[in-house]
Structure 1
């Protein structure tokens, strides 16, 4: 065992325990990126729209739990359910008011609308919630620490990947084995043909935004458990990184979004672990990886070449 430790230390510059400690943190972070990235990729898969407000929807879900628990004294599980409901309603409302009227307009018009919604939510949150960072309420259960052969892992580090995999399997089963899921796949291919097959395209798009917003809410709630400091602009960088994760995996492909999320999360943590001097460039890693993927495989790792809808 000592020989293995020495060999590993000479190769990686860290002990086996330290490596697995960083790896567990990377898997946890990657799980969060993956869950939020699914929302990006679902909306793009149907509308060919990058919903830049997705990160801010994620932020609203966290504040909903905070105010539910800290201000209204609602039990944490009830606050979580209410947060998901509020976030789904917000996502559907954004689709109806900001995106649906522009659906037949140019792509740049919808893109500008998405950016406008993002800035609106950030500034609205600043006015309503205040700009000062707040402490997210974390139940004691998620703060427990378990030790395994020198590796300290909190219960939330276990919880996040399990929930991500669970919701991924539920979503894939829904899309591949239900009539509504079949309708979603049909709409993603051709609006007009779907209408001819008596599919309610508006409802399917609304449902897609609802599911994507629910996943953003769940991701936001778990993000708060792992990083319990919240602010109105906290969704900007995670939102961009989850968009990058979706592009890396192949935007429009749900499994690709999950793969991209895990790659990005694990890569971010390990690059800092192996190269501590690069800590200040941690966020830059995501953008460098994005550029490399676009240069080598523009459609993403699991994506396919598709024509743009006009």
Structure 2
């Protein structure tokens, strides 16, 4: 154990943990929204995030080309805005596809929740494998040469041609806080604020809370549950698209199974904060990101994931409902 390393690099480890936790939080919002309404875990949500990362990288490739370059956040802002839109639209469409094919038919038939969960797991593996087979799919249509920049080496790591160089904004206890750190953290806070405002203040948001609290009573009051569920998946997909863009700005690489570990950690963040609680997803993501970095600093980077999941177990032993523990259906208006 090396507590000295944590002490001497405390600011750096904490800020980078908050940035990483912000990405977890945005993905966790998708899990917590679906659980709040359906009392089900959308295990395909990790692939919704993964498709957003590819949409971001492919948008850069389309407009910038395949030549590698380093750019500052300011100079690449216009292109990144296009990437954000592409990632949000792609992730939202994939989320709606999951809802339409893996959830809606089973919900209409009154299938047991275990069956729906298995369907979601199947959708998760199918989406990951489809991305891993994109070269073969392009070959079926004789487009593999034309789309070589997008489908070649489909199971290898795919990198964005542009690397966003971080620039120092200010110094915090010896650590140079960068524009990318601030972008990731404040983007998560802004999206959380807008989503919380939407759920609490809009008519559709009240419908979401009504279905989450009592689906039968909501239906009797004229709330269209199918529309509410579809909207819930759509919102989760949009949040995953934002997370995917921020992830690619910070990390810069993705692959067909990139969503697996991120998805598990985001789900952990949702449970840690209080599954079904929007604010809990944010708190859980930030806590998980910071504690994971602290654990890695003390015990070594190879112990990061062990420390993070052990923390979840200990927290749930003390507080089974999570840090905040208030479900979407019980949220105050």
TM surpasses 0.5: yes
CA contact (8 A) 1:26 1:268 kept: yes
Residue 275 of structure 2 is aligned with which of 242, 251, 262? 251
Tell me, in whole angstroms, the C-alpha distance in 2 between the residues paired with 1:302 and 1:285.
21
Tell me, in whole angstroms, the C-alpha distance in 1 between the residues paired with 2:328 and 2:226.
22
Partner of 1:132: helix, strand, or coil?
Answer: coil
CA displacement 1:85-113 (0-9 Å, x = unmatched): 12111111210111011112101101000
Residue 86 of structure 2 is aligned with which of 59, 82, 86? 82
Aligned residues: 294
Offset at 1:160?
A: 0.6
What TM-score, normalized by structure 1, do the two folds share?
Answer: 0.89
Offset at 1:12?
A: 4.8
Task: Give the match for residue 280 of structure 1.
Answer: 302
Offset at 1:19?
A: 1.1
Unaligned regions of 5+ residues in structure 2, if any? 66-78, 135-150
CA contact (8 A) 2:28 2:270 kept: yes
Give matches, 1:205-224, under 5 Å: 205-224=229-248
Tell me, in whole angstroms, the C-alpha distance in 2 between the residues paired with 1:137 and 1:215.
24
Cα RMSD of the aligned pairs, angstroms, is: 2.1
Offset at 1:183?
A: 0.7
Q: Does 1:294 align with 2:316?
A: yes
Task: Give the match for residue 5 of structure 1.
Answer: none
Q: Does 1:46 align with 2:37?
A: yes
Task: Give the match for residue 158 of structure 2.
Answer: 134
Tell me, in whole angstroms, the C-alpha distance in 2 between the residues paired with 1:86 and 1:229.
17
CA displacement 1:287-310 (0-9 Å, x = unmatched): 212222232222212115899xxx
Residue 125 of structure 2 is aligned with which of 95, 109, 119? 119
Tell me, in whole angstroms, the C-alpha distance in 2 between the residues paired with 1:97 and 1:200.
19
CA contact (8 A) 1:299 1:305 kept: no
Tell me, in whole angstroms, the C-alpha distance in 2 between the residues paired with 1:299 and 1:100.
28
CA contact (8 A) 1:17 1:151 kept: no
Task: Give the match for residue 60 of structure 1.
Answer: 51
Unaligned regions of 5+ residues in structure 1, if any? 1-10
CA contact (8 A) 1:268 1:282 kept: yes
Give matches, 1:228-243, under 5 Å: 228-243=252-267
